[in-house]
């Protein structure tokens, strides 16, 4: 016989710790529950205990399992919650300090229950940064924290961090602030000259904290750091050091709370993926400035290598940008308004229908142009000097054919190179009159290198622009060809150092600290006056640039560096007895010797058939065309980070310029989440 007490044994006591917003201490509440009670029922009982408080943002956090109980219709039995479970009833949104690329810290309320991918998207809405899928959150490396503590210890005065407090904002979906700052149909428009919001769009910011504390504060660059500050910051000295810096990327498929991030902890908001889609000065003042700042610090701290000539160009652009940013009233430079390709075509059609003569830049697009000229070619081989040989080259569609001479053009070429999917690397030294193009052509076991040498700037610009477009599957008939040629020529002009007679006289009048504009190692090689004179020489070529154009030129120069976009990890390949460096780029993986820094093998994503992770032994396995397999374990970071990088770049390659397109978050998690 069963007693009545046996029927009540199905219920048990559950202890829930409650986070009070007004009180610092937490309170333990004991509830009598049964396994068939749903999570929402537990929350309701807690609400009934404290009616006076707003509980709308609260949810249950299971401490032992490190997970949120967000599915309120699930029963405790289905969730696996038993009497020994430690539950915390806490707000889902908590304060977080984010250090932006421009070294400014923003303090705002962020969702600790949403996955990081969604949390970053909400953060970018508040900061008015488009394309949030390019950014993520990075936990500072131990070396970065050690340097910071040492700097604070050595400082005679207490370090007061400049924090932009956005505590009143919320990054929760559907908040009035978020929708006002980031709308598909009403994106705030910025002045393309100086980056300030246009008057007609100021009202769109509504009650945003950005409006209260100057909504353009994130769109202007910070003054150059002092040499002492620069010297105290962590600078990677090897590829292994660079690999350590990338170990702290958060998992985009898990929440902040699940990754042990504490309330009011400081994280770095950074551009993680180096494919900057649809950069537009009209809408992207904050995004462009933060990109410029991330590039600037990468150059100053030598996170990416560049030549001395390139360092001086970066210094000249920094000097120019800092001068314009400090001006109270920025001079109104005349700029050409950007014309959308469709609008240009419609205007051309309208003029033609009216009987006028239209601009023919968009006409005859069915007649694909071709380039034909004498260039020099070199194929590197072991134990062979770098000797270039001249051939007659013909560039048509997306391929290059070369012949022994011009007269043999109608016959069979010596070789035909398909440029689609190739890696195009500039090999230029303007002062040395060297205008080269390095083609990395994908093959089954990696990449073949081919070097082309042009005679002068114009020839280089035309062939380089054609190669860049062809690598993306576009021909010279594309409307972006001529702008690409102009862009390359303007970049070469920046590199052309013409001594100006005004440089010597203006050295006495300038307010420049050249050591702030170059890396510490570069500053040690030259005297201050000598360095200032060389920076002024380079500045002569950029002195007339508007502010936003100068930032875009800096970003473009950064993108043209050979190591741009490479993220390094220390790995051990299957079957190898030594550690190697794995470089991850937007379109390829590179195996690099950890000691010499020389690339060993390259594999392109275009040739990738599938990739997966053996989560038990934490090994990444990738299959390429022609039965090429590679497998490696990550030593400097969790293998999930590398897995996410590969899937993330493939996800970003699916984007288009459709304004109504929304991010396919499910596809992102499918490509990056894995089965952990």
Whether the predicted pLDDT of 207 surpasses 50: no
Tens of pLDDT along 234-285? 889 899 999 999 999 999 999 999 999 999 999 999 999 999 998 889 889 9
State the average pLDDT over residues 571-591.
93
Helix (H, G, I), strand (E, B), or coil: what is residue 75? Answer: strand
Q: What is the spatial order of strands in the sheet that 163-170 belongs to?
A: 135-138, 266-271, 93-99, 105-111, 163-170
In the structure, what pLDDT confidence band is assigned to residue 186 with cuts at 50, 70 and 90?
A: very low
Long-range contacts of 398-401 (CB under 8 A, 24+ apart): 398/470, 398/473, 398/474, 398/475, 399/470, 400/467
**Alpha-carbon separation of residue 487 from 165, 267, 299, 484, 607 (angstroms):** 39, 36, 21, 5, 31
Per-residue pLDDT at 426: 87
Per-residue pLDDT at 145: 56
Residues 415 and 401: beta-carbon distance below 8 Å: yes
Helix (H, G, I), strand (E, B), or coil: what is residue 29? Answer: strand
Per-residue pLDDT at 510: 60
Range with the poorest average pLDDT among 165-174, 226-235, 548-557: 165-174
Say which residue the tokens 């984010």 belong to. Answer: 98
Per-residue pLDDT at 364: 44
Residues 570 and 240: beta-carbon distance below 8 Å: yes
Q: What are phi and psi of 346, to 5 degrees?
A: -65, -40
In the structure, what pLDDT confidence band is assigned to residue 369 with cuts at 50, 70 and 90?
A: confident
Tens of pLDDT along 47-66? 887 766 778 899 999 999 99
State the average pLDDT over residues 555-563.
90
Element (H, E) at 506: helix 501-506
In the structure, what pLDDT confidence band is assigned to residue 660 with cuts at 50, 70 and 90?
A: low
Better-predicted residue by pLDDT, 209 or 477:
477
Per-residue pLDDT at 100: 94
| Total H helices, total E strands in the chain | 20, 24
Q: What does pTM read for this prediction?
A: 0.81
Range with the poorest average pLDDT among 298-302, 499-503, 583-587, 608-612: 499-503
Range with the poorest average pLDDT among 211-220, 249-258, 405-414, 479-488: 211-220
Q: What is the spatial order of strands in the sheet that 446-454 belongs to?
A: 415-418, 399-403, 389-396, 370-378, 446-454, 434-443, 423-429
Question: Taking all residues of the chain, what is their mean pLDDT, rounded to a whole number?
Answer: 81
State the average pLDDT over residues 121-139.
94
Per-residue pLDDT at 55: 84
């Amino acid at each position: 016989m069963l007693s009545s007490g046996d029927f009540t044994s199905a219920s048990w006591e559950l202890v829930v710790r409650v986070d009070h917003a007004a009180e610092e201490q937490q309170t333990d509440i004991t509830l009598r529950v049964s396994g068939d009670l749903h999570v929402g029922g537990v929350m309701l009982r807690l609400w009934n205990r404290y009616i006076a408080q707003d509980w709308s943002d609260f949810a249950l956090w299971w401490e032992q399992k490190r997970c949120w109980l967000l599915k309120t219709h699930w029963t405790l039995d289905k969730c696996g919650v038993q009497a020994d479970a430690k539950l915390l009833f806490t707000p889902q949104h908590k304060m977080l300090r984010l250090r932006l690329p421009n070294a400014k810290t923003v303090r705002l309320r962020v969702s600790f229950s949403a996955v990081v991918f969604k949390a970053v998207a909400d953060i970018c809405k508040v900061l008015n940064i488009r394309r949030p899928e390019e950014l993520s959150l990075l936990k500072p490396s131990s070396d970065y924290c050690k340097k910071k503590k040492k700097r604070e210890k050595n400082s005679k005065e207490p370090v007061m961090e400049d924090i932009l407090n956005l505590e009143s904002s919320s990054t929760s979906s559907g908040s009035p602030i978020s929708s006002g700052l980031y709308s598909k149909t009403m994106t705030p428009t910025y002045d393309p000259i100086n980056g300030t919001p246009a008057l007609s769009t100021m009202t769109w910011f509504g009650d945003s904290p950005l409006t209260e504390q100057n909504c353009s504060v994130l769109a202007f660059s910070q003054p150059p750091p002092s040499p002492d500050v620069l010297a105290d910051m962590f600078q990677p000295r090897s590829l292994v050091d660079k690999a350590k810096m990338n170990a702290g990327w958060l998992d985009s498929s898990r929440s902040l709370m699940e990754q042990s991030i504490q309330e009011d902890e400081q994280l770095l908001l950074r551009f993680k993926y180096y494919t900057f889609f649809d950069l537009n000065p009209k809408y992207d003042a904050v995004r462009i400035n933060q990109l410029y700042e991330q590039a600037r610090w990468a150059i100053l701290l030598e996170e990416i290598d560049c030549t001395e000539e390139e360092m001086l160009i970066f210094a000249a652009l920094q000097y120019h940008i800092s001068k314009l940013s400090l001006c109270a009233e920025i001079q109104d430079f005349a700029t050409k308004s950007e014309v959308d390709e469709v609008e240009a075509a419609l205007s051309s059609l309208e003029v033609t229908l009216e009987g006028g003569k239209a601009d023919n830049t968009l006409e005859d697009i069915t007649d694909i142009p071709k380039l034909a000229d004498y260039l020099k070619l070199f194929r590197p081989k072991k134990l062979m000097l770098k000797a270039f040989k001249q051939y007659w080259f013909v560039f048509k569609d997306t391929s290059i054919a070369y012949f022994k001479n011009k007269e043999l053009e109608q016959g069979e070429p010596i070789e035909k190179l398909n440029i689609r999917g190739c890696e195009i690397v500039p090999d230029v030294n303007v002062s040395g009159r060297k205008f080269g193009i390095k083609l990395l052509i994908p093959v089954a076991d990696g990449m073949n290198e081919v070097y082309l040498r042009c005679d002068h700037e114009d020839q280089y610009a035309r062939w380089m622009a054609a190669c860049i477009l062809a690598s993306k599957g576009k021909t010279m008939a594309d409307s972006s060809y001529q702008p690409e040629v102009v862009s390359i020529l303007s970049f070469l002009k920046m590199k052309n150092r013409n001594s100006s007679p005004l440089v010597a006289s203006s050295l006495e009048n300038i307010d420049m600290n050249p050591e702030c504009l170059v890396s510490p190692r570069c500053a040690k090689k030259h005297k201050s006056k000598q360095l200032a004179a060389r920076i002024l020489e380079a500045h002569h070529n950029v002195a007339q640039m508007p502010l936003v154009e100068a930032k875009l030129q800096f970003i473009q120069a950064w993108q043209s560096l050979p190591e741009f976009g490479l993220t390094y990890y220390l790995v051990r390949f299957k079957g190898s007895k030594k550690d190697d460096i794995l470089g991850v780029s937007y379109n390829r993986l590179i195996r690099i010797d950890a000691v010499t820094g020389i690339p060993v093998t390259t594999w392109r994503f275009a040739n990738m058939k599938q990739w997966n992770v053996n989560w038990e032994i934490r090994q990444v396995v990738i299959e390429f065309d022609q039965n090429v397999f590679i497998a490696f374990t990550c030593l400097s970071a969790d293998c999930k980070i590398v897995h996410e990088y590969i899937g993330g770049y493939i996800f970003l390659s699916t984007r288009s310029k459709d304004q109504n397109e929304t991010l396919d978050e499910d596809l992102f998690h499918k490509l990056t989440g894995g089965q952990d």
